[in-house]
Structure 1
Amino acid sequence: MARFLARRLGLAVGILLVLSFAMYGLLDIALDPLADLRENPAPNREEMIANRVRLLNLDLPWYQRYFLWLSHFVRGDFGLAWKTMQPVGAIVQSAVATSIQLIFAATIISILTGVTIGLISALRQYTTFDYVITFISFLLYSLPVFWVAVLLKQFFAIGANDYIANPSINWVAVLIASVVSGLFWAGALGGRRRKKLIVFASAFGLTLVLLAALLLSGWVSHPQIGLVGIVIGSLAAALAVTALFAGMNNRRALYSALTAAAVGAISWWPLQWLFVLVPMNWGWMIGLLALAMVICAGIGWLYGGPDRNVSMRGAMFVGLFSSVLVFLDRVLQTWPEYYNTSEINGRPIATLGAQTPGLNADFWMAQLDRATHLMLPTIALVLISFATYTRYERGAMLEVLNQDYIRTARAKGLSERVVIVRHALRNALMPLASVVPVDFITLIGGAVITETIFSWAGMGRLFIDSMTNQEVDPVMFYIMLTGALAMIANLVADFLYAVIDPRIRVNA
């Protein structure tokens, strides 16, 4: 293991040095830090040029400037953005935090939805459901992100803000959404015609009742989850997790999940007092989440069963879901105050920036403000990434389902749930192990178009602004950071392969 890491890290450092040397030379050709001064009509232009030449060491050959930059870089001095006279380290730190904030939710949502839909599409190969999902995936993949962003601004920001200010019930849209829900679940669950009709009617009815209840109760103007929502959501998560990963016949796993759901719902009361009495921050949130995971793992361990790990894992999944619901409920409790502030002025869905300027907010309102700014760029990134993960997972699952060991598992009489979840899914995730880390790290390098359209000061925006301002040091830091992260992503992918497939050993 040590030899493997040392070899990979040594190779990465060598590649970065070659990359930095080549890019510095190319930047010397592409950028001209004196361009603005040459066109300056000021009488002291020559003096200004001489000062800038002295500041940026432009009197030295580019390769000497490279080694001078490199010597400072390895000592932790990342240079200066000379137009604003700000240290590069401070600028990049803020930009990286902004980019991670932007892409984290988008990546998680894309993976979960893409893998799930791709898996179902593979299981329903050559059905109408499969054809529709394939068409939608290719359609989304081909859409230009700037066009998607403009549409989102028009319909999900301007239109949504107008609707929130004056909500009305469009029963035609409600019926269409209910029909789409019914068709989706009927196609996803499959089966004979009678089963499909029952699933369609059930999904149609539930969606219609839910949408009607939300709209008639004024939920759009005052969104909330509440204790009832947390109880229903936690119980649904307990049943779903047990059905997927343990089977409803595993009573101990089911009782573990239901107990975890009950604990999550009961904890809502004391947490409301804690949230009021103690000033919250992310340290508290992480600590409370860790405590919830320990309690749920203990619940699963106490119930035990034929496979204690299954009970523990199911209870922890339910505990995580319940914790997220409690957090979202507390954030939404600040909605009335947030909506009526002068800075928001009844337009909560933001189209520009990462936060509202001048907003005096506590921890909870700050999270709500961040969420409203994240909504549109996250949707834009999810729509594009979702299509990629769906196609990857569908192809991988189809390949796995044709393997001999899958046919053997079915011939032994194992249930379809066990065959898919325990045997096929794990191997079907292997292609994603090499794609997801690289995609995630690439997005940290900057979703340039998305950040520009939505005015997010992330890494992509930093790169564009630095190139426009003819600033070499920020561009070089960007190149070094994204190059190093790309190599780390490939290393993580190697380890994920070993985790997913025990036959693969890193030392080999």
Structure 2
Amino acid sequence: MLKYILKRLGSTLVVLFLSSILVFFLVVHSGDPLEDLRESNDPDAPFQMEQRIHHMQLDQPWYVRYWGWLQGMLGCFRLSCDFGTNRDGQQLNPILMQAAQDSLRLVLIATIASIVLGILIGILAAIRQYSTFDYTVSFVVFFFFSLPTFWAAVLAKDYLAIHYNNWMQDGAEFTTGQIFFISLVLAIGVPLVAGGPPLRRLITGVAVGLFSAGALWYFDSTSFALSPRIGAIGLIVMALGLAVGFTALIAGLKNRQVLYTALTVALIGIVAYYATWDFLQDPPGGWFLLGALFVLTIAVCVVVARLMGGYAKGQATAVAVLTGALTSGLILLDHFMYHWPNMMSLKPRPISTIGSHSRRFTEDDVTWWQVNLDLLTQLWVPTVLMMLISLATYTRYTRASMLEVSRQDYIRTARAKGANERTVVLKHAFRNALIPLATIVAFDFAGLIGGTVIVERVFNWNGMGQLFITALQNVDPAPVMGFVVITGFVAVMFNLIADILYAVLDPRIRV
């Protein structure tokens, strides 16, 4: 395996090297970088032209300029990359770092969200093939997939940002008509999608309608949108619900050892919620500390599962890790909710439609939570947009892969041996269905990086896409090369990870 990984890394370097030569040659010969200064009436234009010629080395052949750029890239092997300067003489390293941080944050969140939702929906669609749920999901995901990105981005800005901000400024209140309409739509839609006998659909519709009306009335009466909280009671109920739910899904409630393991992890999470509350009000180290706590959470979950899991240690570990990870996510969400009113006091219209962050949240008197709430609200609209567009890929491939695997002999054998349907679907079918999905994830991640060019243009993000377009318009090769190297390296690395996952998912591939 190590030899294979080294070979792939070597081929990756060759691909990046050859593509960099081609891209550099095309950009250099795509136009005149001095065109704006030649047409300028500014008396200082000749001096500016000399400065640009010096910064861009326009008096040298293209291959000499490329060699100078390549020497800076070779410094990456010494962990001191030098991406050069743009046409104004500014160092590109800090500019590229900030742009890559904004773009990759957007792409990673959208990719993870679309993978999780797409796989879950695809599994359900495969289990209930040709049902109302299957047809509804197919229509919805293909509808979003067919939307032009630039047009969908404009609609998202209007409905998910501007209308939401207006609603927040109006007090975030639901009218009686809105509560009735939303409850009625859910009462009709959920039973149609869920399926089942007519009586069960009727009972489901009534229950969903009453629950929706009650929940909306509660949120409205407590001004939940302006002062949201999960709270201690909510966290206890959700943590215990996660423990029971994951146990039922993976091992079954009859497996008491797994159930007790999951409940123990949930109780540890509830205790940690109280123990770390004051400490996390101003977390030293920010995301680094939270990441370290998350790693500690996973380690504790694994230890508890190994000690209490008994003969079902594998299932206990899976249930404990999922319960602990989502419980820690709920704790983090509650902290963000706690600081939401403070962020609203600085930004009454919380979701902006321009930029990746607000300037007022870079001042020293703003707390860490307020800064990151601003970043998350800026991510909301473009992330949802990119997630919905790529959701169809994962949903349909998961559905098709699950249906193909479910017809295999070993699936019929598992059912004939008396394995319950949960074990057949999750343990036997789903793992083998993940093999083609590993390839799709790698290609889709690269596609989303390209899609950010349009999304960043619409939302005016200073990310990699905006940097790439501006550099192409200015015939400035250094920023374009930085875009190619960073995005190309990330895309190729995801393909490498996909190849490694093949061997993890299917041991026969290792041979």
Is the 1:31–1:467 contact (alpha carbons within 8 Å) kept by the matching residues of 2? no
Displacement of 1:162 in angstroms is 1.7
SS in 2 for 1:466: helix
* 1:315 paired residue number: 320
* 1:155 paired residue number: 159
Cα deviation, 1:240-299, whole Å, max 9, x if unaligned, reads 211111111111111111222222123222221222476461122122222222222232
Matched, 1:419 2:424: yes
CA distance in 1, matches of 2:452, 2:331: 31
* 2:253 paired residue number: 248
* 1:464 paired residue number: 469
Is the 1:445–1:478 contact (alpha carbons within 8 Å) kept by the matching residues of 2? no
Cα deviation, 1:129-182, whole Å, max 9, x if unaligned, reads 111111111111001122222222222222112212223323444344445545
Pick aligned residue for 2:332 from 306, 323, 327: 327
Aligned residue type for 2:142: F
Cα deviation, 1:67-103, whole Å, max 9, x if unaligned, reads 23223331333210122x3211111111111112222
* 2:357 paired residue number: 355
Cα deviation, 1:309-332, whole Å, max 9, x if unaligned, reads 211221121111111111111111
Q: Decide which moves more: 163-172 or 313-322.
A: 163-172
Pick aligned residue for 1:225 from 230, 233, 244: 230
* 1:102 paired residue number: 106
Is the 2:282–2:368 contact (alpha carbons within 8 Å) kept by the matching residues of 1? no
Aligned residue type for 1:352: I
Where structure 2 has 5 or more consecutive residues not aligned to the other structure, the ranges are 76-80
CA distance in 2, matches of 1:215, 1:429: 42
State how 1:375-454 maps to structure 2 within 5 Å. 375-444=380-449, 447-454=452-459
* 2:378 paired residue number: 373
Is the 1:446–1:459 contact (alpha carbons within 8 Å) kept by the matching residues of 2? no
CA distance in 1, matches of 2:6, 2:264: 47
Give the 3 Å change call, closer, same or farther, for CA 502–355 of structure 1 in structure 2. same
* 1:90 paired residue number: 94
CA distance in 1, matches of 2:487, 2:285: 33
CA distance in 1, matches of 2:33, 2:391: 41
* 1:40 paired residue number: 40
Aligned residue type for 1:174: I
Is the 1:446–1:461 contact (alpha carbons within 8 Å) kept by the matching residues of 2? no
Displacement of 1:387 in angstroms is 1.7
Q: Decide which moves more: 109-118 or 174-183.
A: 174-183
* 1:479 paired residue number: 484
Aligned residue type for 1:347: R
CA distance in 1, matches of 2:204, 2:338: 35
* 1:144 paired residue number: 148
Aligned residue type for 2:306: W
Matched, 1:502 2:507: yes
Please provide the CA RMSD for this pair.
2.2
CA distance in 1, matches of 2:59, 2:136: 62
Give the 3 Å change call, closer, same or farther, for CA 137–314 of structure 1 in structure 2. same
CA distance in 2, matches of 1:174, 1:129: 25
Is the 1:238–1:261 contact (alpha carbons within 8 Å) kept by the matching residues of 2? yes
CA distance in 1, matches of 2:282, 2:11: 53
Matched, 1:60 2:60: yes
* 1:290 paired residue number: 295
Displacement of 1:441 in angstroms is 4.4
Residue correspondences, number: 502
* 2:74 paired residue number: 74
Aligned residue type for 1:355: H
* 1:125 paired residue number: 129
Instruction: With the length of structure 2 as denominator, give the TM-score of the two structures.
Output: 0.92
Is the 2:445–2:491 contact (alpha carbons within 8 Å) kept by the matching residues of 1? no
Displacement of 1:480 in angstroms is 2.1
Give the 3 Å change call, closer, same or farther, for CA 45–502 of structure 1 in structure 2. same
CA distance in 2, matches of 1:170, 1:446: 38
Give the 3 Å change call, closer, same or farther, for CA 497–170 of structure 1 in structure 2. farther
Displacement of 1:207 in angstroms is 3.0
SS in 1 for 2:508: coil
Where structure 1 has 5 or more consecutive residues not aligned to the other structure, the ranges are none
Is the 2:266–2:327 contact (alpha carbons within 8 Å) kept by the matching residues of 1? yes
SS in 2 for 1:504: helix
Displacement of 1:433 in angstroms is 0.5
Matched, 1:16 2:16: yes
SS in 1 for 2:507: coil
SS in 2 for 1:100: helix
Give the 3 Å change call, closer, same or farther, for CA 13–64 of structure 1 in structure 2. same
Give the 3 Å change call, closer, same or farther, for CA 113–178 of structure 1 in structure 2. farther
CA distance in 2, matches of 1:443, 1:267: 37
Displacement of 1:210 in angstroms is 2.3
Displacement of 1:438 in angstroms is 3.2
Displacement of 1:27 in angstroms is 1.0
Aligned residue type for 1:226: G
Aligned residue type for 1:475: V
SS in 1 for 2:419: coil
Is the 1:234–1:318 contact (alpha carbons within 8 Å) kept by the matching residues of 2? yes
The alignment-based identity, stated in percent, is 38
CA distance in 2, matches of 1:236, 1:183: 26
Q: Decide which moves more: 474-483 or 113-122.
A: 474-483
Aligned residue type for 2:349: R
Displacement of 1:414 in angstroms is 1.3
Is the 2:106–2:383 contact (alpha carbons within 8 Å) kept by the matching residues of 1? yes
Displacement of 1:39 in angstroms is 0.8
CA distance in 1, matches of 2:62, 2:120: 51
Give the 3 Å change call, closer, same or farther, for CA 362–43 of structure 1 in structure 2. closer
Is the 1:165–1:221 contact (alpha carbons within 8 Å) kept by the matching residues of 2? no
Displacement of 1:473 in angstroms is 0.7
Displacement of 1:189 in angstroms is 5.1
